[in-house]
Amino acid sequence: MALSMDEQRMLAEIERRLADEDPGLAARLSSFKRPGPAVKFRSPRSRVIGSLFAVAAVLVLSVTVYAMIPFRAHAPGGGARSQATGGASTSASVKPAPKSATASAATATPSRLGGGG
């Protein structure tokens, strides 16, 4: 609701008298009229820019996490694979041949190469 011309004139006169009587109080009260830094963020343009900035930040974070996924598989300890095999690493699942089978294969090979005996 707008003030009438008479009301505006009376209000201006009160402000002038206050400024004459107590300049310090008038200076403190006049600081309420100045827009603060939050007024900048109330415009539609700044809201759109802020929203775009937030979306861009989420996209950058998502792409970074997605790009790091291949490195997680090659992490020490096997990463996700060690959990799938019950804690055993993939190299431990390949068992070496028993000593007796290796020894018998080693002795059988030279006799075949020897040609007869």
**Angle value at C-alpha 92, between 86 and 78, nearest 5 degrees:** 60
Using a 10 angstrom Cβ sphere, with 0-12 exposed, 13-18 middle and 19 or more buried, the burial of residue 61 is: exposed
Instruction: Provide the residue ranges of all domains of the chain, joining segments of one domain with +.
Output: 7-39, 43-73
pLDDT score for 52: 95
Q: What does the pLDDT look like over 11-53, one tens digit per residue? A: 999 988 988 998 888 888 777 766 666 666 678 888 899 999 9
pLDDT score for 32: 74
Q: What does the pLDDT look like over 52-88, one tens digit per residue? A: 999 999 999 999 999 988 877 776 665 555 555 555 4
Q: Which has the higher per-residue pLDDT, 102 or 28?
A: 28
pLDDT score for 46: 85
